[in-house]
Structure 1
Amino acid sequence: MTRRDGLIRVIDSLHAEIAAMRANDVTALDRATREKLVAIEQLGAVAGGGLEPDVRELAEEAQRLNETARIYVNLLAANVRRRLQMLAGDAGGYRPNGRVAAYG
């Protein structure tokens, strides 16, 4: 496998992860994440010196997609936290008695 091939696999996996998060498809997210981790591991085993311009562009695209995936994860986590707070009667960080909830 070349660096170019490995980066393309990582990029495809990141696209699949983002699509799965958008669709709330846990099975697809698990599959895409496993594929991404395998691709990254294989990419790490590729020996070589500097990056050619097209490979550098692929690496930069992978970094942008990874940042997008990170943002989605943070949004999903915030939504889960908000829902849990609502279920616990702690919507918005305020208790029903009007006192601000303490967070540790």
Structure 2
Amino acid sequence: MKSYTPGHQSDDHSVIPSRRDFLKVAGGGFGALAFSAMVAGESSAAIHHPARAKRVIQIFCPGGMSQVDTFDYKPELEKRAGQPFDPDGKLQFFASKPGNCQPS
């Protein structure tokens, strides 16, 4: 017979957790809810001015450079600036072919 380990996810649904394991997992969740309620009261009192934003614009750029690529200095990118990105010549692309290498 297989044993149940709390926090371990398995595809085998024949293992049933014990009552003690269930209460351990559920109790942790209720403790987190209680803690968030306690902290929420303290954090809302610390705001010194009301929020003025009425709208938010979220821009998603698939394929855009990440903050790591834009701020870290990479001398190899300076050498390869403008060359096409294809390290081995064997890459297969799902959506579109990437552009040329950009310097940092």
TM-score range, shorter chain: 0.3 to 0.5
Q: What's the TM-score once normalised by structure 2's chain length?
A: 0.36
Q: Report which of the two structures shows the higher radius of gyration computed on alpha carbons.
A: 2
Q: What's the TM-score once normalised by structure 1's chain length?
A: 0.36
**Bigger RCO of structures 1 and 2 (CA < 8 A, at least 6 apart):** 1
